[in-house]
Amino acid sequence: MNPRLAAIILLATALRLYGIGVESFWYDESWSAWLIDGTPKDTIDRLATQDAHPPLYYLLLGAWSKVAGTNEAGLRTFSALLGVLSVMWLYRLVRRLVSERAADAAAWSSARTRPRAMLMKFTLIPVSIR
């Protein structure tokens, strides 16, 4: 792995994890916690009647919560992990399409921001993998 990319990934991880469980849930996070409470069928049923979002994120979050827990830090680490992964995929994509220097700049920028992790992940994977 490129040493600059490794440093950027470490920074992205640190920025996303620092104080991740300090604040109590925001409204949308409480909503997500409620949606995933129970079985995957419960989640799909709640989404069908109470929410307009597709179920994949919530089903994956529900599975993640079985490992990491349903507290603030446990649920937030899922999106944090997706955000860190998106930094790597963005780097690969920009390096392939533009240059390594542009990839460094894009990854650095992505490391410091909070993109919609799931959207970013599924947008970047197909175009960054051969």
Instruction: Report pLDDT digits (tens) over 47-105.
Output: 999 988 889 999 999 999 999 999 999 999 998 898 888 888 888 888 899 998 888 88
Mean pLDDT confidence for 31-47: 95
pLDDT confidence of residue 115: 42
Those residues whose C-beta lies under 8 Å from the C-beta of residue 90, and which sit 6 or more positions away, are 103, 106, 107, 110, 120, 124, 128
Percent of the chain with pLDDT over 90: 41
Cα separation, 41 vs 95, whole angstroms: 41
Rounded to two decimals, what is the model's pTM? 0.76
Kindly list the domain boundaries of the chain, sorted by start residue: 3-128
Report residue 121's pLDDT band, with 50, 70 and 90 as the boundaries: low
